[in-house]
Amino acid sequence: MGQPQPLGAPLGKLVLLVDDDPAVLKMTRRVLEKRGYRVVACSSGEEALDQISQKAFDVMVSDVQMPGTSGLGLLRAVRDRDLDIPVVLVTGNPNVESAVAAVEYGAFKYLIKPVDNDRLDEVVERAANLGRMARLKREYLDEFGSGVFPVGDRAGVDATLDRALDSLWMAYQPIVRATDGSVFAQEALMRSNEPALPHPGAVLEAAERAGRLHELGQRVRTHVGKAMNSAPEGWAFFINLHPQDLLDESLYLSDSVLSRMSDRIVLEITERASLDAMLDVSRRISSLRNLGFRIALDDLGAGYAGLTSFALLEPEFVKLDMSLVRDIHQSVTKQKVVGSMVRLCHDMGKQIVAEGVETREERDALVSLDCDFLQGYLFAKPGKLSPVPA
């Protein structure tokens, strides 16, 4: 087949496709290649692992049920060779056990056959982009840690980040009670007017490169604290924490602006891999609870926050990723997965927030599954405090 082009080559992103059914393998390969991807097709998990040892892929798409090494077994084995490659699992026989296992082991998506061609293209593109971002982050950290990161680049990042921090503002999106649609809380979402950092992920990336994540977190918390002073007293506020924020000692000050209102604040945490690298997460979470804060685990079901984080954080709130919410009224499998998660969380005294609710049908399905709270465009888009559902 010849040597593959490096990542980012004009020929397209490199996809590792794994399926033991020759007809499905051929058809899916043809679909992806027509969309501009370069595809390496394998008929077994063992063959796929050999390929990963030789090449850097943007994304892997694998069947779940295969003889020998299953898709889930392959996913576990892949992590020994490549920490960053996103894995999309596809199955024709969905069940709750395999779906929960896919979430636990960090699958990017869990798709059910037959998969619409446009849907497959969308998922593979998103997965590849996120995988590249994760790989670039890791490569940067390795380079910066060695002290060879160019000074000019660092200065440019600092200057751009300064402009972003100067224009920083917070958008708020309501979280409503499933029972009656009344506002329970507002989630604070970081925004910036700096054109060079056009979305929150870019701001976080710049702060990480500049070694200024704590400064960014402090700015965000200051903005939210000011907004809370003019908000109705009954509202809680969900504030996203980068895992590195847990190492910022200012977060634990009893006289900080947020600590004085801690009974109204839920600290929302994601990025499982970063949490796993910390040795004293449990102690730090316990200290935050002693101050009166509650904890939410973000994006359960997205592949990045799994059961390990659930056990580590013991959150009061669990937020279901929108991939589980989208069109849930049309998917028996999603209903079973979400229903199982809701029952499990309720048995342990946790409350469920379903994110990304966009239609009345999704809302009704989630209400019937006993979700506690709902969030999404159906109720309000993020905006200045305070958007209130119609």
**Which CATH number belongs to the domain containing residue 182 in this structure?**
3.20.20.450
- pLDDT value at position 149? 34
Co-location of 48 and 103 in the same domain: yes
169 and 106 within one domain:
no
- CA 156 – CA 137 distance, rounded (Å): 17
Q: Are 41 and 86 in contact (CB under 8 A)?
A: no
pLDDT (0 to 100) of residue 140: 57
Residue 384 in 3-state DSSP?
coil
8 Å CB contact between 196 and 160: yes
- First-to-last alpha carbon distance for the chain, in angstroms, is 57
Q: What local confidence, expressed as pLDDT, does residue 322 receive? A: 85
Domain count, the chain: 2
The pLDDT, as a whole number, for residue 193 is 92
Q: Mark whether 81 and 160 lie in a shared domain.
A: no
pLDDT of 95: 76
Q: How far is CA 285 from CA 35, 100, 121, 258, 280, in A?
A: 45, 25, 39, 15, 9
Whether residues 164 and 134 share a domain: the answer is: no
Range of the domain at 347: 156-374
**Would you write out the chain's pLDDT as a tens digit for each of its 390 residues?**
344 443 433 357 899 999 999 999 999 999 999 989 999 999 998 899 889 888 889 999 998 888 777 777 787 777 667 767 888 888 888 777 777 667 656 678 888 888 899 999 999 998 888 877 766 665 655 554 443 333 334 556 777 888 899 999 999 999 999 999 999 999 999 999 988 888 888 888 888 888 899 999 999 999 999 999 888 888 999 999 988 899 999 999 999 989 999 999 999 987 554 676 677 888 999 999 999 999 998 877 555 445 667 777 889 999 988 888 999 999 999 899 899 889 988 999 999 999 999 999 999 999 999 999 999 999 999 998 864 544
Inside any domain, residue 321: yes
The answer to whether 184 and 175 have CB atoms below 8 angstroms apart is yes
Smallest CA-to-CA distance from 379 within 370, 366, 368 is with 366
Asked if 237 contacts 186 with a C-beta cutoff of 8 angstroms, the reply is: yes
- 37 and 113 in one domain? yes
Question: What count of other Cβ atoms lies within 10 Å of the Cβ of residue 90?
Answer: 25
Same domain, 162 and 281: yes
Query: How many CB atoms sit inside 10 A of residue 35's CB?
Result: 17
Exposure b/e, 311-348, CB count within 10 A at least 16 = b: ebbebbbbbbbbbbbbebbebebbbebbbebbeebeee
